[in-house]
Homo-oligomer: A and B are copies of this chain.
Amino acid sequence: TIFEAVVAALRPGDLEGVTVMVTAGPTREEIDPVRFISNHSSGRMGYAVARAARQRGARVILVSGPTGLAAPAGVERICVESARDMQAVVMEHVKECMVVVKTAAVADYRPAERKGDKIKKQAAEMTLTLVKNPDILAELGRLKKRPFLVGFAAETSRLEEYAAQKLAEKNLDMIVANDVSLGDAGFNVDTNRALFLFRDGSRQECPLMSKDELANRILDQIASRLPAQRR
């Protein structure tokens, strides 16, 4: 499109030579061969970041949970189902990456046991025991050779407080916080509004804009904060 051409002209390859990993979409945690636990992430924000990073010259590895979206041109997409699948792929490729943008809504919990056959409906009540999934972002934050690490916080209340807490706890460089209880932000819509918080304590508010434009605002911040010798 004309818009994309203009964007590309305005930001001429400022991510050339940089490998960016983007994780996107939900994960699915199977209860049995038929049922699973998932979440409302559409993957659109992550796909927008992957597309924009590629347009700005980066090599892009997109690790994607199940979405109905087509892979952006020129992006290396690896499709996964569960949080543990995603963990394996991310940890395998992180050494190649200078930047990791983790937009995926990874399931925090999975069923303790996956039944091999479909569970028959019987009792009026049933309890499902869930166990915590690996925390991929925290694992990345603990790496000795850490990439520039960008997390997302989708919250329905106390947005800035939770986001700041996540930034510190997971040892991130930047966090993009958005309130998914608003109708024009978050899941399954084409627009988003966000708050950026940084490791150095600075903050920036982004008003309502398209996910494509927000993706570029995020990449502006990343590009300006990468060590000069690595770019």
Which A residues fall within an 8 A CB radius of B? Answer: 31, 33-40, 68, 105, 107-109, 112, 116-118, 120-121, 123-132, 154-157, 162, 180-181, 187
Contacts and interface: CB of A to CB of B under 8 A. Distances in A.
A180 B33 contact: yes
A23 to B, nearest CB: 16
A34 B105 contact: yes
A132 B121 contact: yes
Given A35-B107, A37-B37, 12 more contacts: A31-B37, A33-B181, A34-B39, A34-B156, A35-B40, A36-B37, A108-B121, A118-B180, A120-B162, A126-B129, A126-B132, A127-B129
Nearest to A181: B33
A126 B130 contact: yes
A124 B132 contact: yes
Q: How many copies does the complex hold?
A: 2
Contacts of A127: 127-130
Nearest to A67: B68
A127 B128 CA distance: 6
Contacts of A162: 120
A117 B156 contact: yes
Nearest to A41: B34
A36 B34 contact: no
Given A33-B181, A39-B35, A181-B33, A130 B132 contact: no
A169 B99 CA distance: 57
A116 to B, nearest CB: 8
A137 B37 CA distance: 24
A149 to B, nearest CB: 19
Nearest to A158: B117
A38 B40 contact: no
A130 B121 contact: no
Contacts of A36: 37-40
A223 B193 CA distance: 53
